[in-house]
Structure 1
Amino acid sequence: MLSALRSVSPLVAAAAVLVAGTSFVASAAAAAARDDAFLILSRSVETSNVLENHNMTLLYSVFNVGGGEATDLVLVDKSFPPKRFTVLEGSFSKAWPSLAPGASVTTSVVVDARRAGTFYTHPATLSYKPVAGVETKTTSASDATISVEDVYTFNKRTDMHVTDWIAFAVASALTILGPYMVYVTSARKLNLSDPVVIKKKQ
């Protein structure tokens, strides 16, 4: 029974992804067909390594895949509290007067991650008005987890440990050369290097 479930689960997952993708394409196609705006919002972390007390860049992208113009666009993201993130550039609230069909806009926010640890965010929200004039809201793809790493752990994880290898090499050399130097010194004092001559009694 368990093996049967394991063999079915990838098919179920693939079917779910296919259905979701088909639903999204159908929604976009329907929006384009009735000349309505259909906006997609994405949020991504552009910084490869998010470190404590270092800058982190967030990129927001808005795409109009519908057939009509969108107006009164307002982007709001309340996922980054000031106690943990200090805004250095940009704003978590951004507005655009309009967005034409097939066009896109981007905005970025640079923050200082003040504390290490795992941080859970919520989707950003985008409100806009399609041609009909009724306010519509959409959100970024899903919740995201951001891991802020402290500098010590990052350096320990990525460092080549050159200093440690040098110290190891020196310690190894002393372990070998130390006894050898003691042996050489003792041999010189005892003249162990000279051949021993035994004289026969006559």
Structure 2
Amino acid sequence: MYAVRMRLSGLSALRCEEDAPKMMLVPLLLALLGLCSAEDGARLLASKSLLNRYAVEGRDLTLQYNIYNVGSSAALEVDLSDDSFPPEDFGIVSGMLNVKWDRIAPASNVSHTVVLRPLKAGYFNFTSASVSYVAQEGGPVVVGYTSAPGQGGILAQREFDRRFSPHYLDWAAFGVMTLPSIGIPLLLWYSSKRKYDSSKAKKN
């Protein structure tokens, strides 16, 4: 997951007079370090993941977005936008690729699910979605990105069926084709057995 980084305003350097006692610099430096290390406001971490084991042409593909607020205050005006799925390559079955939340409380998370349908087979690069939010009320808009699933293959329907379907029709056809080679010898054996049994009964 990529952290949605906040833009921190620069801190002006502290200057002291040349004749100031050196001991006075210690609390000033400690205060400056405290300001630099403190991270006030919201801080979001976001992920984008595929829930399907295989992406298949013409079959549903489920995406899940998770956003976590690890900051100290609520994130405001959160906007998730994913423009990485061209309409000529993917159809939307359910959900939206652009969604907004008024606020995400600190130490909480939200999830969003979208179901797509790949229209073409081949390789596709599943890239990041963008996330924008306001870290503090009245503050600037912060922009970041989710994690990226990366490049993956979308299988053709015929290829998927060939590799993973139970092949009931294939087994049925195989049974029909092998039936004569098994059935004819069985009939001959049964016919000869009946003749042998009948001749044995007549002798007795």
- TM-score, normalised relative to structure 1: 0.66
Determine the structure 2 residue equivalent to 1:49: 54
Determine the structure 2 residue equivalent to 1:117: 122
CA contact (8 A) 2:40 2:71 kept: yes
Counterpart-to-counterpart distance in 1, 2:99 and 2:68 = 15
Q: How many equivalent residue pairs? A: 166
- State the identity %: 28
Determine the structure 1 residue equivalent to 2:77: 72
CA contact (8 A) 1:43 1:140 kept: yes
Map residues 1-202 of structure 1 onto 2, 5 A cutoff. Answer: 33-131=38-136, 133-142=139-148, 144-175=150-181, 178=184
Counterpart-to-counterpart distance in 2, 1:66 and 1:149 = 41
Higher helix share: 1
The Cα RMSD (Å) is 3.4
Local SS of the residue matching 1:54: coil
CA contact (8 A) 2:80 2:100 kept: yes
Counterpart-to-counterpart distance in 2, 1:150 and 1:181 = 45
Counterpart-to-counterpart distance in 1, 2:37 and 2:52 = 34
Counterpart-to-counterpart distance in 2, 1:156 and 1:42 = 33
**How much has 1:42 moved relative to structure 2?**
0.8
**How much has 1:175 moved relative to structure 2?**
3.4
**How much has 1:149 moved relative to structure 2?**
1.5
More relative contact order, 1 or 2 (CA 8 Å, 6+ apart): 2
- TM-score, normalised relative to structure 2: 0.66
1:46-101 CA distance string (max 9 Å, x none): 23332212222211111101112211111111110101111232221111111110
Relative to structure 1, the CA distance from residue 100 to residue 181 in structure 2 (aligned partners, 3 Å threshold; closer, same or farther) is closer
